[in-house]
Amino acid sequence: MKTLSILIFAAIVPLFVAWAIDARKIIENVQERYEDMTDATITFSQSVRFKVSKAEQTVKGTLQFKKPNMYRIETEERTVVTDGKTSWSWSPRNRQVVIDNYKEETHSLSPEQLLLSYPKDYISTYIGEEKLSGQSSYVLKLTPKEEGSFATAMKIWVAKDWLIRKVEITDVNGAVTTYVIEKIGIDQKLADSGFNFQVPDKAEIIDLR
């Protein structure tokens, strides 16, 4: 009888664990973790796989983010900076910088939405757990609520510390872009000065303000 009770308990416990976590709970935990942050520094890799050519491009970069609307993204190909009022987009190859007023697009996928918080306007479905860099992560599938979204599908991997560690986006052209967070530091008291861009000498300036 005791053995039977142990077997029943062993069978029921995994069901309770499965019921205890769902997409809604994961989203709530990620959002709470995000709300507690003031800033973050992320080292990431970005790969793009094109549907037709099957070619793949990979770049590495860093993202610095500070609430409410400041961020700085740097890769070999481009640097994008905003202080919440002005935005700069710098292309070293063309030695060209585009300057514009900062615009908060409610339907856009901003850096903090992609790598820290949860993209809005998507329906989330919990599809299970996967190992990521040796650690178990929750995996969710995101489907846009409205037609016409540039991203037709997304997958997000959330670690047990409720931080997003990987994002996979499929766009309307069938290209798949994957972000993998390699390192993350939170609440480092980043200075506001790091979110201003100093235009290099002899750069072409395109001012859209």
How many CA atoms, within 13 angstroms, populate the side-chain half-sphere of residue 50? Answer: 7
Pick the CATH number of 23-207 from 2.40.10.10, 3.30.540.10, 2.50.20.10, 3.10.180.10: 2.50.20.10
Confidence of residue 190 (pLDDT cuts 50, 70, 90): very high
The Cα 29–Cα 133 span in angstroms is 21
In this structure, the chain runs to a length of 209
Torsion of CA 62, 135, 153, 34, to 10 degrees: -60
Q: How confident is the model at residue 34 (pLDDT cuts 50, 70, 90)?
A: confident
| Band of residue 191 on the pLDDT scale cut at 50, 70, 90 | very high
Bridge partners (DSSP) listed for residue 35: none
- How much is the pLDDT for 15? 39
Q: What is the pLDDT of residue 118?
A: 64
What percentage of the chain reaches a pLDDT higher than 70? 83
- pLDDT above 70 (res 105): no
Per-residue confidence (pLDDT) for residue 122, from 0 to 100 = 81
Mean pLDDT of all residues in 186-208: 94
Q: Is 2 helix (H, G, I), strand (E, B) or coil?
A: helix
Q: Please name the residue that has the structure tokens 């007023």.
A: 101
> pLDDT above 90 covers what percent of the chain?
53
Dump pLDDT digits (tens) for 56-65: 889 899 999 9
What's the one-letter identity of residue 121? D
pLDDT-based confidence at residue 111 (cuts at 50, 70, 90): low
Q: How far is CA 117 from CA 18, 36, 157, 170, 179, in A?
A: 23, 11, 12, 19, 14
148-186 pLDDT per residue, tens: 777 888 899 999 999 999 999 898 888 999 999 999 999
The yes-or-no verdict on residue 53 having pLDDT over 90 is: no
Q: What is the pLDDT of residues 115-139, one digit of tens each?
A: 666 667 788 899 999 998 888 999 9
DSSP 3-state of 127: strand
Q: Where are the domains of the chain?
A: 23-207
Report CA Rg, the chain: 20
